Amino acid sequence: MIQYALKCSNGHTFDSWFKSAAAYDKLASTGMVTCAVCGCSQVEKAIMTPRVRPARNAVAGGSAPLPEVAPIDVTTPSPDVEEVLAQLRRKVEENSDYVGKDFATEARKIHLGDAPERAIYGEAKPEEAKALIDDGVPVAPLPFIPSRKTN
């Protein structure tokens, strides 16, 4: 089971449990995930904090317990989070080539050695990103939408 923080197009936020990430993707693609508040079917995943538990052997080994950490409310970003995301965006844009919607094709070319190795960023459909990951191409989602560069 996996829990996602979700947000509808009307701005309502809510949590929901799914059998797996694939189950969520399947339900969302068919419009079967609806807002718990207003019933809107335009729902997407919201930014959420990960829940990470210590390894079983770490607890059994008698190591010191992890300190309690206060939960972070990610539904209303703080100025600190917004600044960190802005810095990350600047670093990515300064040190990478924007390849737009050709991201999947270009990442695969670089991985296979058909294009010069360099840092790139762009846009990919979920199925393209999944195919890249399945083929061992190292990719990661960015926590922002790239600004489209136009001539």
In-domain check, residue 146: no
pTM passes above 0.85? no
pLDDT one-digit tens code per residue, 30-52: 888 888 888 888 888 887 666 66
Q: Which domain holds residue 38?
A: 2-45
Q: Is residue 17 part of a domain?
A: yes
Report the DSSP beta bridge partners of residue 45.
Answer: 6
Q: Has residue 60 been placed in a domain?
A: no
Q: What is the pLDDT of residue 107?
A: 93
pLDDT per residue over 5-18, tens digit each?
889 888 888 888 88
CB atoms within 10 A of CB 6: 21
Residue 128 lies in a domain: yes
Report yes or no on 71 lying in a domain: no
What b/e string do you get for 15-26 counting C-beta neighbours within 10 Å, with b at 16 or more?
Answer: ebebeeeeebee
Residue 65 inside a domain? The answer is no
Per-residue pLDDT, 150: 53
115 belongs to a structural domain: yes
Per the structure, how many domains does the chain have? 2
Do 24 and 18 meet the contact criterion of CB atoms below 8 Å apart?
yes
In a domain, 145, yes or no: no
